[in-house]
Each structure stands twice: as structure tokens, then as C-alpha cells.
């Protein structure tokens, strides 16, 4: 079984204890946000290495790194070979297409990600607004884990999702 399949089985297991899963996702979201903050600081620098090396670089577990690769896949300049045979020593690249990434964050309703202040140095307000509208008009939805109203907000504020970034969702 490849690492991606293992991650999917664990992270999207509907029979798992919901509290434990919520806790895991909340923890994952904080790490994910931290990685995007770093990537967006140097958006044109290619981050490349084995899955294990990147997990070490960002100080996260191998399985979270796999989750991150899964999440960023559609926004990459060149997709990584994450299906079937992904292993700790597979070499992957995080070179992303800035516009695609921004739009995919919008498509996932990840307000806490497309609202990161690092984006303001990459795209001005008008560009962000244009991409937001283009994405919303396209009707594409990126499915992520289900966040319930009483779950902690993925932004890390400590507030409930419904009282924070989930207010208008």
C-alpha cells in the first residue's frame, strides 16, 4: 500500500472516532498553514526533496507530509507521483503555480489560507479579487475534510469554526 492510500484510509475514515479525527485535522491544519506561510515567503524558489526530507524540513510527521502533498497536488507546476507507489524516499517537488494555488484555496473555502498576509506581496488586491471571482464563477469545489460548526477553526484562533472563518460558509 502506498503512503497516500494509508493517509486517505486514516484521515477520511468515517468510522473513526470523530473527536480523535477532529483533533488530528485541527493539528494538521496548523502545520499546513505554517508550511504555506513559509512557501509563500519565497514563492519562486523550488522546494524539492524526498518526502522524508521535506517532513524533516518542516518538522512534521511523514503522514502529514503525505497529506500536504495530496492537498497541494492540483496546484503544482508538475504533479508529483503520489498515486500508488509513494514512499518516504520518493523525490517530490513543491514548485507551485501561484494563481492555481490561490484559486484552489478559494475552491476549498480555506479562508484562513487564501487570506494569509503573504499573498499580499504576491498579488495585489485587484488580482486577488479577480482570481476569487473567476474561481467562484467556475463552480469548481475542492473537497477537503468536513469541518463541523463546533469544530475548532482551522486558522488556529482557538474559536469555534462557526464563530470564526466558518461564519459565512
Q: Interface residues with Zn ion (CB under 5 A)?
A: 153, 155, 157, 164-165
Question: CB of 104: closest distance to Zn ion in angstroms?
Answer: 19
Torsion of CA 63, 64, 66, 72, to 10 degrees: 170
DSSP code for 110: -
- Give min distance, CB of 153 to Zn ion, in A: 3
Residues written for the chain: 169
Cβ distance to Zn ion smaller for residue 33 or 100: 33
Nearer to Zn ion, 93 or 118 (CB): 118
Query: Could you tell me the smallest distance in angstroms from the CB atom of residue 32 to Zn ion?
Result: 14
Nearer to Zn ion, 39 or 153 (CB): 153
- Concatenate the DSSP letters of all residues of 124-164 into one string: -HHHHHHHHHHHHHHT---------TTSBPTTSSSSBGGGT
Amino acid at each position: 500500500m502506498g503512503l497516500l492510500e494509508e493517509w486517505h484510509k486514516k484521515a477520511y475514515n468515517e468510522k473513526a472516532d470523530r473527536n480523535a479525527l477532529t483533533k488530528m485535522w485541527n493539528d494538521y491544519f496548523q502545520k499546513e498553514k505554517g508550511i504555506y506561510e513559509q512557501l509563500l515567503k519565497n514563492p519562486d524558489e523550488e522546494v524539492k526533496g524526498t518526502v522524508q526530507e521535506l517532513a524533516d524540513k518542516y518538522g512534521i510527521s511523514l503522514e502529514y507530509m503525505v497529506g500536504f502533498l495530496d492537498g497541494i497536488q492540483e496546484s503544482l507546476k508538475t504533479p508529483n507521483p503520489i498515486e500508488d507507489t509513494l514512499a518516504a524516499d520518493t523525490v517530490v517537488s513543491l514548485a507551485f503555480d501561484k494563481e492555481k494555488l490561490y484559486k484552489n484555496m478559494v475552491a476549498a473555502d480555506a479562508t484562513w489560507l487564501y487570506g494569509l498576509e503573504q499573498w499580499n506581496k504576491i498579488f495585489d488586491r485587484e488580482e486577488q479579487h479577480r482570481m476569487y471571482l473567476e474561481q467562484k464563477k467556475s463552480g469548481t469545489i475542492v473537497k477537503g475534510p468536513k469541518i463541523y460548526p463546533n469544530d475548532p477553526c482551522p486558522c488556529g484562533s482557538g474559536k469555534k469554526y462557526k464563530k470564526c472563518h466558518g461564519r459565512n460558509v
